[in-house]
Amino acid sequence: MEHTRWLDEDEQRTWRAFLVAQRLVLDRIERRLQSNAGMPQAYYEILARLSEAPGRTLRMSVLAESSWSSRSRLSHAVARMEETGWIVRRSCPTDRRGQLAELTEEGFAALRAAAPDHVESVRETIFDGLSPAQQAGLREACEKLVEHLSGTGRWPVIRDSGPDGPGAARAS
Amino acid sequence: MEHTRWLDEDEQRTWRAFLVAQRLVLDRIERRLQSNAGMPQAYYEILARLSEAPGRTLRMSVLAESSWSSRSRLSHAVARMEETGWIVRRSCPTDRRGQLAELTEEGFAALRAAAPDHVESVRETIFDGLSPAQQAGLREACEKLVEHLSGTGRWPVIRDSGPDGPGAARAS
DNA sequence: GTTAACAAGATGAGCGCTCAACCATTCCGG
DNA sequence: CCGGAATGGTTGAGCGCTCATCTTGTTAAC
């Protein structure tokens, strides 16, 4: 057996910093979104992707990929959001295995209502504390990580649906 | 109502990259740790902090802070790990409200057994995909974020005056 | 000293997630 | 065609987490 490649001091600090920063950031944003819009970040993501789709409708599998969600997770999430009236499911006409998820007017309204504070929260949490150079460094590293990890993991590689990100709700 | 400070295109990309990278990284490491050592990352963190403490013992509150965990979470986690025999709780001699969490031999052994593969997993996930400069950039940004976020609004949740909170009788 | 405020933890309900099945449909090699 | 593999999606158990609440112990004001 090969000897373990332990982390040197710099690597330890990097890993710790990433872990803690990730916790603090996600936690803060999740908490604020939950208290202001009554939805977790993952649901916001799903609604945002749906809102950008033609007809505000996507197949479950496509939606799962574009929101970086497992099928099981998406299935549970959509079931929940169907109960709250944000999404409706319809069967797919061309493939009887498939299901289409469609954003309802209520769902779209919920997304629009949630967006401004969520964006503000993201800005305060991430961008207000980092210099432009630090933002660039963060982005470069994260994009590289995504590239590094998205081929071999459990999620298929997908193309980002464009530079619009979670902001579709602002575009109308 | 002020106008929302929407994210520009660069900021969108940065935020998306951070979100996705964070998901992929944590997911991968968590999954591997779970399958190889039967514990979630948060538990590993707790065991690691305990193992570094004098007497392998810490007060719950200190342990909560040093593992960036809420008290409730730590309480649940320690309860669970007490069932599996990795931790024992003893009452604190100097403060009868307090509890001391002590790492057992079994807990220490579990941590030691988990460590090599976990470290290898971290290395493969984070460091093998990043150049030294990118690692440095990631570290700088994350450390800045931690600094930015750990001051106020850190973990202790801002409680609005609840039913038996201060000023409950007068507030409404 | 009494009493109100506060701190340390524990606890239980609720929720989102994972994992491992599971059913239904479609695809594809003989 | 047929039958097995692959695909799309759902389901339920189990778990870790949050939130609100509760208990117990400490502190401080008067």
* Same-domain pairing of A66 and A105: yes
Is the distance between the Cβ of A33 and the closest atom of strand D smaller than 7 Å? Answer: no
In whole angstroms, what is the distance from residue A25 CA to residue B145 CA?
A: 8
Classify B53 as helix, strand or coil.
coil
pLDDT at B151: 72
How many angstroms away from the CA of B163 is the closest CA of chain A? Answer: 19
* Same-domain pairing of A48 and A95: yes
Contact A159, B51 (CB under 8 A): no
* Same-domain pairing of A133 and A79: no
How far is CA A142 from its chain centroid? Answer: 14
A138: which chain B residues are within 8 Å (Cβ-Cβ)?
14, 17-18, 137-138, 141-142
> What integer best gives the mean pLDDT of chain A?
89
What CATH number does the domain containing B68 carry?
A: 1.10.10.10
Q: In chain B, how many domains are there?
A: 2
Distance (Å) from CA B34 to C1' D24?
A: 36
* Same-domain pairing of B63 and B105: yes
Q: What is the DSSP string of A6-33?
A: ---HHHHHHHHHHHHHHHHHHHHHHHHH
Is the distance between the Cβ of A81 and the closest atom of strand C smaller than 7 Å? Answer: no
Give the domain extent around B110.
Answer: 25-114
pLDDT digits over A43-87, tens only?
A: 999 999 999 999 999 999 999 999 999 999 999 999 999 999 999
Within 10 A of B143 (CB to CB), how many other CB atoms are there? Answer: 18
Is the distance between the Cβ of A78 and the closest atom of strand D smaller than 7 Å? Answer: yes
Amino acid at A114: A
Q: What per-residue string of b and e applies to A97-133 under the rule 16 or more CB within 10 Å gives b?
A: eebbbebbeebbebbbebbbebbbbbbbbbbebbeee
* Same-domain pairing of B33 and B110: yes
Instruction: Report yes or no on B36 lying in a domain.
Output: yes
The mean pLDDT values, 10 residues at a time, for chain B of 172 residues are 86 97 96 96 98 98 97 98 98 96 98 97 97 98 96 46 29 24
* Same-domain pairing of B104 and B147: no
The two structure tokens encoding residue A44: 């916001």
pLDDT at B129: 95
Residue nearest to nucleotide D24 (CA to C1'): B97
Distance (Å) from CA B122 to C1' D17?
A: 23
How many angstroms away from the CA of A153 is the closest CA of chain B? Answer: 8
pLDDT at A3: 84
* Same-domain pairing of B61 and B130: no
Distance (Å) from CA A62 to C1' D3?
A: 29
Helices (H) and strands (E) in chain A, counts: 6, 3
Shortest-distance nucleotide from A34 CA to C1': D18
Nearest to A44 by CA among A90, A91, A89, A103: A103
